[in-house]
């Protein structure tokens, strides 16, 4: 429902299941918001382990807060857009 800006970045909603019950966590993410590792991995549709491989290769930047890694939404979307261009006609990674 939110069109991308001239750089291809957009705001989106993250929906995650919390615990074993049917509870869901939902939040609206803007381009400058921080994402946790599971949220960034969900956006890129990769495992958290693969996300850390991308960090180790230097393909995605992060911020370290205490002992956790946080990712800026626009940086994750840039990696996502780069992967989408490389895939050609395959599926897109950003689901609004």
- Per-residue pLDDT at 23: 80
Confidence of residue 84 (pLDDT cuts 50, 70, 90): low
Q: pLDDT digits over 20-74, tens only?
A: 777 877 788 888 889 999 889 988 889 999 999 999 998 898 999 888 899 998 8
Q: pLDDT digits over 73-82, tens only?
A: 888 888 887 7
Q: From the centroid of its chain, how far is CA 27?
A: 13
Confidence of residue 89 (pLDDT cuts 50, 70, 90): very low
| Cβ proximity of 27 and 35 under 8 Å | no
pTM of the model: 0.68
For residue 93, give the 3-state DSSP assignment. coil
Extract the runs of DSSP E, i.e. beta strands, from the chain: 12-17, 24-29, 34-35, 63-65, 68-72
């Amino acid at each position: 429902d939110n069109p991308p800006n001239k750089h291809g970045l957009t705001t989106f909603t993250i929906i995650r299941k919390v615990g074993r019950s049917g509870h869901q966590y939902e939040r609206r993410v803007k381009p400058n918001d921080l994402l946790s590792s599971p949220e960034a991995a969900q956006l890129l549709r990769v495992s958290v382990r693969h996300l850390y491989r991308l960090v180790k290769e230097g393909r995605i930047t992060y911020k370290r807060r205490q002992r956790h890694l946080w990712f800026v939404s626009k940086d994750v979307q840039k990696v996502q857009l780069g992967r989408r261009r490389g895939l050609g006609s395959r599926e897109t990674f950003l689901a609004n």
